[in-house]
Amino acid sequence: MTLPPPPRSTANPAPVRVAGSVRRTSSIDVSWPDGVEGQRLFVGAARDLWTPAAGAEGLTLAQGRFEARMTEDKTITAIAADPAPAGIEQLVGARAGGHLRMLLREALPDLVARADPLYLVLDDLSGTALVSAFAWSQWYPDWAERLRQRLGEEQHAALMAQRVNVCWGLQEGNSGVRPGGVPEDVASADAGDVRNPSDPQGWHALSDHAGAGFRRVRRIDVTCDAAAGVIRIDSAFQDSAAKVDGGRVAIHEYLLRATADIATLEVLSIVPEARILPFSECPGAVANTQRLVGRKLGAIREEVLAQLRGPEGCTHLNDALRALADVPALVRQIGG
C-alpha cells in the first residue's frame, strides 16, 4: 500500500491579533555552545498579551523566561528563571521526560495553580529535549550515522526500540520505525517565520543565535463571544531547526481550533489541522481528538493522558491539546 506524502506546508506567519483577545506565546530555543558533544543550552520564554482594541497597543499580563543546561542523556545540570519561582532549584539533577512533568507539579504548585506562562514553557522542556537533536541533521548529512557511532550499536538500538509505539506515527510497522528513520524530503518543509511584520507586537522576543539550533514555538489566541456563549481558541505549534544556508526547516506543525461553553467550560468542538509532519501515517492521530469533545477545559491535561496515550495520539498534538487547560485562566485575565 502506497501512502500519500506527509503534509509539508506552513501556516506562518501568525495572524494579526484581534480586538478583545488574549494571546499566549511561548518558545524554547536550543543551542550547543560547546559543540555537538557538549551540553545543550535551552532558552525558554513565554508571554500573555491582551489586545483591548483593534490596532491598539497590547498590554502584557504575565511573562517569564528561563535558561537551562542539559546533558545528552537529558539530565538538567543548571537552571535559572526570571521571575524565579520558589522550588525551581529542585529541577537540577532531574531528567527531562514524563517524570520531570510530575516533578514540576510537585515543586512549582503555585505556577500550576495560576496557569503561569512560565509553567507552560517549563512543561515543554521534556518534549523539546526529546526532538531537539534533529537540528544537527541540517548541518551534517551523515548525522544519523554519527549518532549511531557516538552511542554504539547496543545503545543506539535501545534508543530506537524506545520509539516504537510511543505515538500514532511511530506504531510498530510504520515508516518512522523502519531503518532510515528520518524521511528523505524533510528538508523541503519551510518553517517560515512565526512573526508577522504587520503585527510587530504579536510575538515576544525570540532567542535568535548563529549555528545549529532548534526551536519550539506555541501560540494560543483566546476570544470570548458573549452573544454565542462560547470561548473561541485558535492555536498553533511548530518545531523547527536552523539551516546552514539560512532560514528554518520544520519537522512538526499543527494548527488547533476549538470552542468551549463560557459558562460550563465544556469543550464543544476541536478541529486540528496537520500542517507539517515527518511521516505519512502521522495525520491519522487527528481523528482521536474527538474523544475530548464534551470534556471540561480545566481537566484537559488529565483527559489527554487518559484518552490519547501512546499510539492512540500524537505526542506533539497531545502537547497542543494539554495547553488548552490554561484557557480558563486566560479568559479570567480579560474578564470573560
CA angle 265, 124, 240 (to 5 degrees): 110
Average pLDDT taken over every residue of the chain: 90
Instruction: Report the predicted TM-score, pTM, of the whole model to 2 decimal places.
Output: 0.92
- Cα distances (angstroms) measured from residue 139 to each of 25, 62, 134, 330: 28, 36, 10, 39
Helix ranges restricted to H, 70-108: 98-107
Could you give the percent of the chain with pLDDT greater than 90? 69
Q: Are 297 and 224 in contact (CB under 8 A)?
A: no
pLDDT at 182 over 60: no
Residue written as grid cell 520564554 = 45
Can you give the pLDDT at residue 162?
64
pLDDT at 1 over 60: no
More confident residue, 311 or 4: 311
Can you give the pLDDT at residue 63?
97
42, part of any domain: yes
CA atoms within 13 A of residue 150's CA, in its CB half-sphere: 12
Helix/strand/coil percentages in the chain, nearest 5: 35, 30, 40
Closest to 206 (Cα-Cα) out of 181, 242, 159: 242
Q: How confident is the model at residue 183 (pLDDT cuts 50, 70, 90)?
A: low
Type of residue numbered 37: E
Residue written as grid cell 520558589 = 86
Which residues are CB-contacts of 316 (< 8 A; sequence separation ≥ 6)?
127, 237, 239, 252, 254
14, part of any domain: no
What is the pLDDT averaged over residues 259-275?
Answer: 97
Domains in the chain, number = 1
More confident residue, 137 or 168: 137
118, part of any domain: yes
What is the pLDDT averaged over residues 261-280?
Answer: 95
Supply the angle between the helices 153-163 and 143-151 in degrees, to the nearest 10: 120
5, part of any domain: no
Can you give the pLDDT at residue 147?
66
Q: How confident is the model at residue 81 (pLDDT cuts 50, 70, 90)?
A: very high
Integer-rounded Cα Rg, in Å, for the chain is 19
More confident residue, 140 or 117: 117
82 class by beta-carbon count within 10 Å (0-12 exposed, 13-18 middle, 19+ buried): exposed
pLDDT in tens, 297-322: 999 999 998 999 989 999 889 999 99
Q: How confident is the model at residue 179 (pLDDT cuts 50, 70, 90)?
A: low
15, part of any domain: no
Render 19-35 in DSSP notation, one character per residue.
TTEEEEEEEEEEE-TT-
Can you give the pLDDT at residue 297?
96
pLDDT in tens, 194-209: 999 999 999 999 998 8
Render 118-186 in DSSP notation, one character per residue.
HHHHHHTHHHHHHHGGGGGGGT-TTHHHHHHHHH-HHHHHHHHHHHTTSSSTT-TTSGGGSTT-S-TTG
Can you give the pLDDT at residue 210?
86
178, part of any domain: yes
Q: How confident is the model at residue 173 (pLDDT cuts 50, 70, 90)?
A: confident
CA angle 287, 292, 296 (to 5 degrees): 160
Render 20-74 in DSSP notation, one character per residue.
TEEEEEEEEEEE-TT-TTS-EEEEEEEEEEEE-STTSPPEEEEEEEEEEEE-TT-
Domain of 57?
A: 21-333
What is the pLDDT averaged over residues 133-152?
Answer: 76
pLDDT in tens, 53-70: 877 789 999 999 999 999
Number of H helices, E strands in the chain: 9, 8
69, part of any domain: yes
pLDDT in tens, 104-121: 999 999 999 999 999 999
Q: How far apart are CA 220 and CA 63, in angstroms?
A: 14
13, part of any domain: no
pLDDT at 88 over 90: yes
Type of residue numbered 165: N
Can you give the pLDDT at residue 155?
64
pLDDT at 161 over 60: no
pLDDT in tens, 219-263: 999 999 999 999 999 999 999 999 998 899 999 999 999 999 999
